[in-house]
Amino acid sequence: MASLSIRTFSDTLVNATAPWLDDLAAGIHAIWDPLLGPDGPSGLKDALYGTWLGHPLHPAVTDIPIGLWSASALLDAAGMEYGADLTLKAGTLGALAAAVTGVAQWHDLQNDEEPRRLGTLHAAMNVGATTLYGLSWVLRDTDSRKAGIAASAAGLGLASLAALVGGDLSFRLGVGVSRVAFETPPTDWTSVIALDGLEDGTLTRVEPDGIEPLVLLRQGDAVLAASATCTHVGGPLDEGEVQGTCVTCPWHGSVFDLANGQVVDGPATSPLHAFETRIHEGDVQVRVKDAI
């Protein structure tokens, strides 16, 4: 029942404000595109996405403002003014980091209507909460403590609602989740295509029965094999560009090494499934690497 009410809450807000959210999303996207778009600095993008961490950075960073703001409310209730003010200010600064990493994770979702709109709503609510906490900061520093506590209480309520929307994005829509997370790669040798069906140096997509789609790259008598689906937003890697053993996703530019499935450049944060290959009776056979 709780999950139903949360989804109803999110859907109602999104449906009621859809035109406004679309306009706001377009504006936010345009502002950040020079940094987070295809021509943005890859090092900065990888840092904000969490490529270096192995999973999206944003969920971890959101613990900073939520935790500190919650502590501030408890300290206010206990009458510990110094501690309450200190944690409030630290949480407000942490909210800025959460906002930047959140925009980075949201930026590449513009072709998916519901994640785009719901993410924009999530961001707008968090901006509102941070503004209330900024106001509380000023009020507390100007000896208007009761008004400052009221502003922070409103901010905590709005931030909590925003967190519910964020949970919807993560756990219902799967934003930030690896697009191959629920695939079960074969542990036994499995034939996927005849070797003669592969053109040397060209990416080939195969979809064998019972196996996730694979992208194969023939290099002479050797064949590399990995998941054909980009772990970021599901781009088709077989339509990407090849350089050496690496493939670049055609959608958002994530680069993977087909030899081991690892992420070379983001925005992807999770690796592909990588496969061992062998040629058996003229067929290419695969099994997941490290299979026993």
Query: pLDDT > 70: what percent of the chain?
Result: 93
Span 116-128, average pLDDT = 93
Q: What are the boundaries of each domain within the chain?
A: 2-171, 190-288
Does 169 have pLDDT greater than 70?
A: yes
Sheet strands side by side (includes 190-194): 190-194, 283-288, 274-280, 222-227, 214-219, 203-206
User: Per residue in 220-277, pLDDT tens?
Assistant: 889 999 999 999 999 999 999 999 999 999 999 999 999 999 999 999 999 999 999 9
Q: What phi and psi, each to the nearest 5 degrees, are found at residue 151? A: -65, -40
Q: Within the chain, how many helices (H) and strands (E) appear?
A: 7, 10
**Distance (Å, rounded) from C-alpha 187 to C-alpha 276?**
10
pLDDT of residue 279: 92
How many CB atoms sit inside 10 A of residue 83's CB?
A: 15
- Those residues with Cβ within 8 angstroms of residue 181's Cβ, 6 or more apart along the chain or in another chain: 270
Say if residues 116 and 25 touch (Cβ distance below 8 Å).
yes
pLDDT of residue 291: 46
Does 4 have pLDDT greater than 80?
A: no
Among residues 181, 165, 161, 155, which one has the least CA distance to residue 56? 181
Domain 190-288 grouped into CATH 3.40.50.10800: no
User: Per residue in 54-91, pLDDT tens?
Assistant: 989 999 999 999 999 999 999 999 999 999 999 999 99
Does 1 have pLDDT greater than 60?
A: no
With b for 16 or more beta-carbon neighbours within 10 A and e for fewer, the 236-264 pattern comes to bbbebebeebbbbbebbbbbbbbbebebb
Higher-confidence residue: 11 or 283?
283
pLDDT of residue 10: 59
Q: For the chain, where are the alpha helices, taking DSSP H only?
A: 2-16, 18-36, 42-49, 58-77, 81-106, 113-141, 145-171
User: Per residue in 124-165, pLDDT tens?
Assistant: 999 999 999 999 999 999 999 999 999 999 999 999 999 999
Span 202-215, average pLDDT = 91
Say if residues 286 and 72 touch (Cβ distance below 8 Å).
no
pLDDT of residue 292: 39
Strand partners, 213: none
pLDDT of residue 110: 86
pTM of the model: 0.84
Span 107-134, average pLDDT = 92
Mean pLDDT of the chain: 90
User: What is the band of 104 on the pLDDT scale with cuts at 50, 70, 90?
Assistant: very high
User: What is the band of 6 on the pLDDT scale with cuts at 50, 70, 90?
Assistant: low
Does 11 have pLDDT greater than 90?
A: no
